[in-house]
């Protein structure tokens, strides 16, 4: 082979190798289609009016990125931005919703939310339910907010009205077999913790009661829309670290927010 031809062949080989190298880095490098599932973007989960670090830890361990939403000054002007940017919302436990929200005079045991938190959470949960189809998980007070925001009412004091105790105890719950909650747990019976003195009474529009305690107290509600994750539970899954059943609920919530 003469020199000019050898030079041409070597030049061609060089270009081919260079193109192959570029193709390797472009075609074989990480893309959204080839990244493992755990490396894809974790969903942003808003936690309203943070009341304890357990909520942050629970969201993080379930695979979400916790975002604490302050209620200072009522903070209702930020609600539209939260609706746009967050992938899921967790409404945590706390004090009591003013009974005027569901047209009743307060029982003597009611300890109402402070003004800032009340105004912020009312605006946030109402807008989240009505203006988005994004996942929502309510825990204790959060579950009560979901019920009241959809037109429901509450048993204001379980001990005096129903002669039963749900504070600082544990008890079983029976879950409706055809519910999303039963599918998440893979069970229709569950042992839960209990720290509340109120619970859903009249069920809100678009909700159904899907779990009850042995005394008949409603322990969980969910939306009647099968396409949406919207669940409220009276117990505290975030306080049951290491309980695989409760971990299923938190993971299902975060996974729904990631979709």
Catalytic site positions = 140, 236, 238
The distance between the two most distant Cα atoms of the chain, rounded to a whole number of Å, is: 104
Residues β-bridged to residue 69:
48
Tokens at 198, concatenated: 């109120």
The DSSP letter of residue 114 is P
Sign of CA dihedral 54, 56, 61, 62: positive
Q: Assign residue 96 a region (left: φ > 0; alpha: ψ between -120 and 50; beta: otherwise).
A: beta
Going from the C-alpha of 214 to that of each of 160, 175, 191, 211, the distances in angstroms are 17, 11, 11, 10
Burial of 222-242, coded b for 16+ CB within 10 Å and e otherwise, reads bbeeeebbbbbbbbbbbbbee
- Residue 18, Cβ neighbours under 10 Å: how many? 10
First to last CA, the chain: 61
Q: CA 80 to CA 76: how far, in whole Å?
A: 8
Helix (H) or strand (E) holding 117: helix 115-131
Cβ atoms of residues 236 and 140 within 8 Å: yes
């Amino acid at each position: 082979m003469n020199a000019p031809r050898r030079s041409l062949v070597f030049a061609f080989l060089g270009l081919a190798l260079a193109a192959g190298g570029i193709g390797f880095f472009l075609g074989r490098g990480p893309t959204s289609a080839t990244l493992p599932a755990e490396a894809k973007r974790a969903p942003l989960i808003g936690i309203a009016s943070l009341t304890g670090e357990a909520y942050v830890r629970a969201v993080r361990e379930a695979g979400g990125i916790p975002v604490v939403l302050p209620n200072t000054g009522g903070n209702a002007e930020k609600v539209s931005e939260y609706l746009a940017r967050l992938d899921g919302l967790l409404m945590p436990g706390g004090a009591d919703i003013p009974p005027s929200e569901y047209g009743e005079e307060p029982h003597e045991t009611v300890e109402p939310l402070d003004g800032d938190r009340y105004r912020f959470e009312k605006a946030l949960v109402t807008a989240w339910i009505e203006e988005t189809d994004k996942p929502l998980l309510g825990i204790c007070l959060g579950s009560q907010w979901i019920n009241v925001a959809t037109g429901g009412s509450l048993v204001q004091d379980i001990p005096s009205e129903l002669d039963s105790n749900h504070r600082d105890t544990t008890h079983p719950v029976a879950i409706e077999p055809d519910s999303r909650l039963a599918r998440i747990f893979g069970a229709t019976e569950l042992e839960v913790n209990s720290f509340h003195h109120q619970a859903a009474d009249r069920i809100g529009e678009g909700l159904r009661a899907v779990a009850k305690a042995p005394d008949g107290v409603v322990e969980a509600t969910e939306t009647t829309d099968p396409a949406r994750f919207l669940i409220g539970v009276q117990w505290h899954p975030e306080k049951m670290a290491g309980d695989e059943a409760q971990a299923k609920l938190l993971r299902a919530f975060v996974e729904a927010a990631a979709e």
